[in-house]
Amino acid sequence: AKPYRCEACGKAYAQPAGLRPHQPEQPLGCPHCGAAFLWSCRLARHLRACRPPVKPYKCPECGKAFGQS
């Protein structure tokens, strides 16, 4: 049986130590968009969907980046 359940994501653990990574300590920020999360499991879920835009083409005139040439 796994009686220790994370309130944020629902994942269960047999030992209370399994919950440690799920416990809020300080806000965790997304390195791509700056969104903040108290739960590491919520940040992990967000990171799977949040990707930085790929813009490899840079304008030599103004410096603006684009995804297509």
Strand partners, 12: 5
Domain-located, residue 63: yes
Position 45, amino acid: R
Burial class for 4, CB neighbours closer than 10 Å (0-12, 13-18, 19+): middle
Domain-located, residue 66: yes
13-54 residue pLDDT tens: 998 888 877 776 678 889 888 898 888 888 889 999 988 778
What residues make up the domain containing 55?
Answer: 23-69
Q: How many domains does the chain have?
A: 1
54-66 residue pLDDT tens: 888 999 999 998 8
pLDDT for residue 67 is more than 90: no
Domain-located, residue 37: yes
